[in-house]
Amino acid sequence: MISSKITGTGTFIPTLKKENTDFLKDKFLDTDGTLLASENEVIIEKFKAITGIEERRYARKEYTSSDLAFFAAQKAIEDADIDKEELDYIIFAHNFGDVKVGSIQSDMLPTLATRVKNKLKIKNPNCVAYDLLFGCPGWIQGVIQAQAYIKAGIANKCLVIGSETLSRVIDKYDRDSMIYSDGAGACIVEKTTEPDAGILSHATQTFANEEAFYLHYGSSYNKNEDKNVRYIKMFGRKIYEFAITNVPAAMKFALDKSGVEIDDVKKIFIHQANEKMDEAIIKRFYRLFKKPVPEGIMPMSIHKLGNSSVATVPTLLDLVLKGKIENQSVQKGDVFILASVGAGMNINTIVYRY
């Protein structure tokens, strides 16, 4: 039986560190443009308690999202020990394209996937490169698409990338801006005939009624700013309630399809959006099986890296596989779950045997 497995991973974590204390002198406004009542110290303290974020990484001004993706892709190709000319697909998940510092426009012409192929100097025209816009779950969806190509017999090796520079699409007057960060993660997905290995099952959902606009573009909270410049905005409470209700159900659906018992799941790599939200999702997931949450089941990187959208799951996976997160590891034969939720609203999950 043909399936797919991840044979190599790579990340690029930007070097510029922005700590919570760096926001102390910022001017945070409410949606109506008025100054928030609380002092910044209180705002930041509450922010850390909810999200778990202590610091985040921003890309250097000379790098764009496609640059970060290229760096991560190089590492994944090297880790998988493959010839880059043998790649059948390059699937690049992002949401905002290449945004240069100081620019008010996103650049996606040519596609970011094409830019990565160019930077990798791949000559093979049969290596198809395209972009995938699917919110924060984009990288996982790219892996699911790679699996589909492989099972259909039209691909053997795919490069899947998730990269973003969210620091360039945030409204500095919005306290939610502290959540977002920059980064890139990539993997190689290859054909395998190894029994009961690699991707065992997956699930994807799109909810597009009122929840479709929980994440959206909007003007700055500062009414004196250019109203034609748009920034990432969200209804945080609504997203939280949506996620803790719907993500656990999708994860259970995928796990049930896989035939794997809940007690055999060793790790859950979930989108690093908000620590409290992720903890609530995992708790509700195990509650569906009438089980307590196992200790150490959910590795976290959000504390130091923030929320880099499509890059959080591949970055987290790579860090654990490379032994770079304390007391977290994956052994041969272990089953883990990948899961994400984001703009769309989209949810997806993969059950995987390592």
DSSP 237-302: HHHHHHHHHHHHHHHHHHHHHHT--GGGEEEEEE--S-HHHHHHHHHHHHHTTT-PPPTT-S---H
Indicate if 99 and 236 belong to the same structural domain.
no
Same domain, 158 and 275: no
Crossing angle of helices 40-51/275-287, nearest 10°? 30
Residue-level pLDDT at 105: 85
- Examine the domain organization and report whether 164 and 23 are in the same domain: yes
Banded pLDDT at 194 (limits 50, 70, 90): confident
Within the chain, where are the H helices? 40-51, 65-80, 112-120, 138-151, 236-258, 275-287, 302-305, 312-321
Q: Are residues 187 and 289 in the same domain?
A: no
Q: Is the pLDDT of residue 104 over 80?
A: no
Identify whether residues 27 and 174 lie together within a single domain. yes
278 — phi, psi (to 5°)? -65, -40
pLDDT band at 236, cuts 50/70/90? very high
What mean pLDDT comes out for the span 25-53? 94
Q: List the domain range (segments joined by +) for residue 52.
A: 3-195
3-state helix, strand and coil shares in percent for the chain, rounded to the nearest 5: 35, 25, 40
The CATH number linked to 273 is 3.40.47.10
Same-domain pairing of 191 and 206: no
How many domains is the chain partitioned into structurally? 2
Are residues 180 and 45 part of one domain?
yes
Domain match, 209 and 189 both: no
Q: Which residue has the tokens 């190709």?
A: 77
Q: Are residues 127 and 224 in the same domain?
A: no
- Residue located via tokens 């045997």: 353
**CB 352, CB 199: distance < 8 Å:** yes
Mean pLDDT across the stretch 283-304?
A: 96
Tokens of residue 302, six digits: 């959000």
Residues in the chain: 354
183 and 245 share a domain?
no
Q: Where among 146, 180, 195 does a domain terminate? A: 195
pLDDT of residue 227: 86
CA distance 352 to 314: 14
The pLDDT-based confidence of 193 (bands split at 50, 70, 90) is confident
Boundary residue ending a domain (176, 195, 214): 195
Which of 124-133, 192-201, 215-224 tops mean pLDDT? 124-133
Contact (Cβ atoms closer than 8 angstroms) between residue 306 and residue 317: no
Q: Of the candidates 195, 210, 238, which is a domain's last residue?
A: 195
* pTM, full prediction: 0.95
Q: Are residues 161 and 221 in the same domain?
A: no
> Distance between CA atoms of 63 and 182, rounded to whole angstroms?
11
Residues 322-328 have a mean pLDDT of: 94
Residues 17 and 125 in one domain: yes
Q: Phi/psi at 244 (nearest 5 deg)?
A: -70, -15
